[in-house]
Chain A
Amino acid sequence: MTAVLEVSDIKKRFGGIHAVDGVSFEVREGEILGIIGPNGCGKSTLFNCILGQLQPSEGEVKLDGRVTTGMRPCDINKLGVSRTFQLLQIFPKLSVRENLILAAQEHKGTMMSRLFGPRDAGLNGAADQMIAFFKLTHLADELAGGLSYGQQKLLDAAMAFMAGPRLVLLDEPAGGVNLTMLGNLRDRLKAFNEERGATFVVIEHNMDFVMSLCTRVLVLAEGKVLAEGLPAEVRANPAVIEAYLGH
């Protein structure tokens, strides 16, 4: 199997803090890789380095064998990689539908066709499908800012899928989401993975969520990889229990 994402020896320093301190891993096509680790161990910083929000101090990122370190986030996104952020990031003054159309409009046509072409950039149908898929149909034309936190969280995730990405990085998708919604979200993600072959990397503190969703788990501690393996292996690893899981 080919590696969709290869991360080699990424380091990121903030002043004296080594937030990410030499992390390497690979993600293969169709995988759902979980990343866990204590607060402040560098998970979000790692995502930011992979997707261009931050420039790593050292190291290299490859997507489909192509080096992407130094590229801008919008260009990396156009290679078929999307993400969500740890803190909710939606556009409150746009409707749910508009949020979703925005999430894909830059992937179609040119600047000119977006200026003179149809208002929805031909994406209304796709947006409706995504809205139905995430069970938000009754809210399609509401302003996103008026949705509940959990609903906004679903919208946030839905936006990441709008452009039909091959690889999606999710930073704590389950944070603040209630149990029913959580099951719903997990089913949606699994369906995307199975039906469309999308590959995921998921940062998450909710262990049940990670264990029931991920095919492989990477454990970070203090900016370094502490362990890596199947969910069951990781859960049984004494070093992981010591550093993260407790008891």
Chain B
Amino acid sequence: MSEAARTRLNYAGVAIALAFLILAPLEFHRYGIYILSQWAVMTIAAIGLNLTLGYAGQVSLAQGAFVGIGAYCAAILTTQGWPLIAAIALALVLCFVIGWLLGYPALRVQHHYLAFVTLAFSTLAFLVFRNESWLTNGTEGIDGVPRPTVLGLSTTPHLYYYYFCLFMLALVTLATLGLVRSPWGRAFIALRENPLRALSLGVDTRRYILMAFAIGSALGGLAGALYAPLVGLVEPPAFTLTLSLNLLMMVIVGGSGYFLGPFLGGLVAVLLPEWLRVVDNYYLILYALLVMGLLIYSPTGLIGIVDRFLVDRRTRAASAARAAASASIERP
């Protein structure tokens, strides 16, 4: 496939996906729209984790905690009469700073040690959500989180709030695409692939690691700030380690380090459990089996399967071209 053909195919794919995301909900029930909104929100959080983990190679089990911080920002501020946009700004800044600080342990420890450090942070955040009642209203949580008015239009109807979330997802997608395609994206990958060599080539690995944590966490915070008005009730159990693990699974099932990974992983994590509801109590078991099967077949996730298919085709095309070339040499 030529470069131009591939670009055209990409554009076509994006157009179809976008058309689906915009038009499909018009036919959906309220619940369907709600589920799709959840996909959009959690995909933003997964995109953030994919930057930290997939691109920069820094293991984090704390993304759910950042979603929680963002959600509490939104719940606390908007129930006090602040606009959601202010809460979003606060969530971004706060999670950026906390994410930056959480990056410091990563300068000293890696892999499973880093997983434990971020896991401890995740637990800490949960304890703060549950125990600091003066701020978070403790186990009761904060109810009645209002939805924003955008361009004079109330987003209280599910459909309108869905479009708002979709718009935010589009913004995040474009910004992240710009980031991973910039020299920063290359530096992140270098950090993941070979930090020793990167450092010897002038890559300030310390600064990039902190940035990878800060930006990834800020996106977690943004997702949280969108999540609060979506569900209306913000309470501690939503932001336990389970959420972090779910986000981690989205990234890995989709394809860690691939740009489209979180989008697909998000689909699997949000939609599959809904579809599997028909099998009732067995759905978690079935879900777990499906995920295990996928990762055994393709450790690089869903995108990995697509990628392998494309590479196969390219290799076959190349060997066909070579065969044709040698045949024309033999026949003078």
Task: Give the total of B residues in contact with A, Cβ under 8 Å.
Answer: 23
Query: Given A77-B202, A91-B190, A93-B189: A105 and B183 within 8 A (CB)?
Result: yes
B199 touches A94 (CB 8 A): no
Tell me, yes or no, whether A85 is within 8 Å of chain B by CB: yes
Tell me, yes or no, whether B30 is within 8 Å of chain A by CB: no
B194 touches A119 (CB 8 A): no
Nearest opposing residue in chain B for A98, CB measure: B186
- Contact among A73, A107, A115, A119 for B199, CB-based, below 8 A: A73
A90 touches B194 (CB 8 A): yes
- The 8 A CB mask of B164-202 against A (1 = contact, 0 = none) is 000000000000000101111011011001101111111
A114 to B186, CA, bound (A): 10
A119 touches B181 (CB 8 A): yes
- Contact among B182, B196, B198, B203 for A115, CB-based, below 8 A: B182
- The 8 A CB mask of A110-127 against B (1 = contact, 0 = none) is 010011110101000000
Which A residues are in CB contact (< 8 Å) with B118?
Answer: none
Tell me, yes or no, whether A220 is within 8 Å of chain B by CB: no
Which B residues are in CB contact (< 8 Å) with A121?
Answer: 183
Tell me, yes or no, whether B122 is within 8 Å of chain A by CB: no
A104 to B201, CA, bound (A): 7
Which B residues are in CB contact (< 8 Å) with A117?
Answer: 182-183
A74 to B202, CA, bound (A): 4
A73 touches B189 (CB 8 A): no
Which B residues are in CB contact (< 8 Å) with A41?
Answer: none
Tell me, yes or no, whether B312 is within 8 Å of chain A by CB: no
Query: Given A105-B187, A119-B182: A78 and B202 within 8 A (CB)?
Result: yes
- Contact among A53, A77, A98, A114 for B201, CB-based, below 8 A: A77
- The 8 A CB mask of A71-90 against B (1 = contact, 0 = none) is 01110011000110100011
Nearest opposing residue in chain A for B200, CB measure: A73
A57 to B73, CA, bound (A): 50
- Contact among A51, A82, A94, A114 for B183, CB-based, below 8 A: A114
B201 touches A106 (CB 8 A): yes
Tell me, yes or no, whether A159 is within 8 Å of chain B by CB: yes
**How many A-B Cβ pairs are below 8 Å?**
84
Tell me, yes or no, whether A35 is within 8 Å of chain B by CB: no
Which B residues are in CB contact (< 8 Å) with A23?
Answer: none
A119 to B183, CA, bound (A): 6
A contact residues, range: 20 to 34
A107 touches B202 (CB 8 A): yes
A44 to B200, CA, bound (A): 14
Task: Kindly provide the distance from the CB of A130 to the nearest chain B CB, expressed in whole angstroms.
Answer: 13
Tell me, yes or no, whether A92 is within 8 Å of chain B by CB: yes
Nearest opposing residue in chain A for B199, CB measure: A73
Task: Kindly provide the distance from the CB of A127 to the nearest chain B CB, expressed in whole angstroms.
Answer: 12
Query: Given A114-B183, A117-B183: A90 and B197 within 8 A (CB)?
Result: yes
Task: Kindly provide the distance from the CB of B277 to the nearest chain A CB, expressed in whole angstroms.
Answer: 39
Query: Given A91-B193, A91-B194, A102-B190: A51 and B202 within 8 A (CB)?
Result: no
A130 to B133, CA, bound (A): 62
Query: Given A93-B189, A94-B190, A106-B203: A116 and B197 within 8 A (CB)?
Result: no
Tell me, yes or no, whether A10 is within 8 Å of chain B by CB: no
Tell me, yes or no, whether A163 is within 8 Å of chain B by CB: yes
A51 touches B200 (CB 8 A): yes
Which A residues are in CB contact (< 8 Å) with B202?
Answer: 74, 77-78, 106-107, 163
Tell me, yes or no, whether A103 is within 8 Å of chain B by CB: yes
A-B contacts, 12 of them at CB < 8 A, read A73-B199, A77-B201, A82-B200, A89-B197, A93-B189, A94-B190, A102-B190, A106-B202, A114-B184, A119-B183, A121-B183, A163-B202
Contacts beyond the supplied A89-B194, A91-B193, A107-B202: 7 A-B pairs with Cβ under 8 Å = A53-B200, A74-B201, A74-B205, A94-B186, A102-B183, A102-B190, A114-B184
Question: Interface residues, chain B, CB within 8 Å of chain A?
Answer: 179, 181-184, 186-187, 189-190, 193-194, 196-207
Question: Interface residues, chain A, CB within 8 Å of chain B?
Answer: 51, 53, 72-74, 77-78, 82-83, 85, 89-94, 98, 101-107, 111, 114-117, 119, 121, 159, 163
Please list the 4 inter-chain residue pairs (A to B) with the smallest Cβ-Cβ separation, ordered nearest first.
A106-B202, A89-B197, A114-B183, A77-B202
